[in-house]
Amino acid sequence: MSYLDNIRTFVRVYDLGSMSAAGRDLRISPAVTSARISQLEDHLGVRLFQRTTRNLSPTEQGKAFYPGAVSVLDAVDEAEAQVTHLTEAPRGSLFVAAPLGVGRRLLAPHVPDFLSQYPEIDVRLRLTDRSVDLTTEGLDLAFFIGQPEDSTLRIRKIADCQRVLCAAPEYVDRRGMPLTGNDLIADKHECLNLRFPGATEFQWSLETPEGSKRFAVTGRFECDDGDVLTDWALSGQGIAMKPKFEVADYLKTGRLVAVAQQTPPTPVQMACLYTHRRHQDPKARLFMDFMIERIGKVVRSAEEAA
């Protein structure tokens, strides 16, 4: 039995002046009605009703508690009505963050379809490859690849994101084909690093026969925009670690080739981050449901094609 159920039962007993009448109204047994009142009294440490075999009347404490109890129930009912209204016709602005690649390729193409279904919602899309803070930046949702730093937030997983080390054929012709992560370091390959302000180190996590291992790769090219790294890789400047969905077309056409395939990158999760709320904003839930269905299919299809 919840505390709210106990309050609701108290109000009906008070209004109807009878345990049995309140029980019938709430469709619960007299025993449950009595138990709820007793639990509420125990919680408050006071008697709310004077009970005799023939009569039931509120005590002074019960009379004092009644207006506040009614206000609580009215507030809950109003909140539920608002949620129902928003769910049926959601409106307002939704602030969403995502990495550049995810936002450009997976979210942005589907935003028009979402807005056509929910014409009273405005989507404010913020694309960046740096880490974001939902609370301080006023965000409702943040899509990401990897592991979030803030463990107090809620995560809704979309898919396991496969990654690939790739380079242009001309780079491989010029520098040779690395087979493992050790080759990347021993042969001093030009590794294209995704890096943003505040990053303290750069390592690639690769799958080896001994398990996942981190390799401290080096390179002269560095940027906080993943698409720039893709452009550098396409122009033959070096090796990039990319989610497969971002480079699937280039791998298919041969503009990029997979390298170091004996030690492929460790998969990472693609997920959506949101704040812990007792009643989640329906707009955010609708957007997550819509996008997760769409982009999950795209990610899996791209990985199969690659």
Domain termination site, one of 88, 121, 139: 88
Statement to judge: residues 140 and 286 lie in one domain: yes
**Which amino acid type is present at position 79?**
A
Low-confidence ranges of the chain (pLDDT < 70): 1, 77-78, 80-89, 135-136, 148-152, 196-201, 276-280, 302-306
* 239-243 and 222-223 strand pairing: unpaired
User: Domain range holding 233?
Assistant: 163-266
Statement to judge: residues 26 and 155 lie in one domain: no
Statement to judge: residues 179 and 237 lie in one domain: yes
Which residues, at least 6 apart from 251, have a Cβ–Cβ distance to it below 8 Å?
164, 166, 244, 257, 258, 306
Q: In CATH, what number is assigned to the domain containing residue 233? A: 3.40.190.290
Statement to judge: residues 113 and 199 lie in one domain: no
Statement to judge: residues 156 and 276 lie in one domain: yes
Residue with tokens 């009347």: 57
pLDDT at 53: 75
Q: Cα Rg for the chain, rounded, in angstroms?
A: 29
Which residues, at least 6 apart from 32, have a Cβ–Cβ distance to it below 8 Å?
1, 23
Statement to judge: residues 156 and 172 lie in one domain: no
* H or E element in which residue 70 lies: helix 60-88
Q: In CATH, what number is assigned to the domain containing residue 275? A: 3.40.190.10
pLDDT, tens only, 87-101: 566 778 888 999 888
Statement to judge: residues 236 and 279 lie in one domain: no
Domain termination site, one of 39, 71, 88: 88
Statement to judge: residues 154 and 276 lie in one domain: yes
Statement to judge: residues 168 and 154 lie in one domain: no
Number of domains forming the structure of the chain: 3
Statement to judge: residues 192 and 73 lie in one domain: no
pLDDT at 120: 86
**Which amino acid type is present at position 15?**
D
Statement to judge: residues 284 and 140 lie in one domain: yes
181 and 213 in contact (C-beta within 8 Å)? yes
pLDDT at 45: 94
pLDDT, tens only, 208-245: 999 899 998 989 999 888 889 999 999 999 999 998 88
Statement to judge: residues 118 and 199 lie in one domain: no
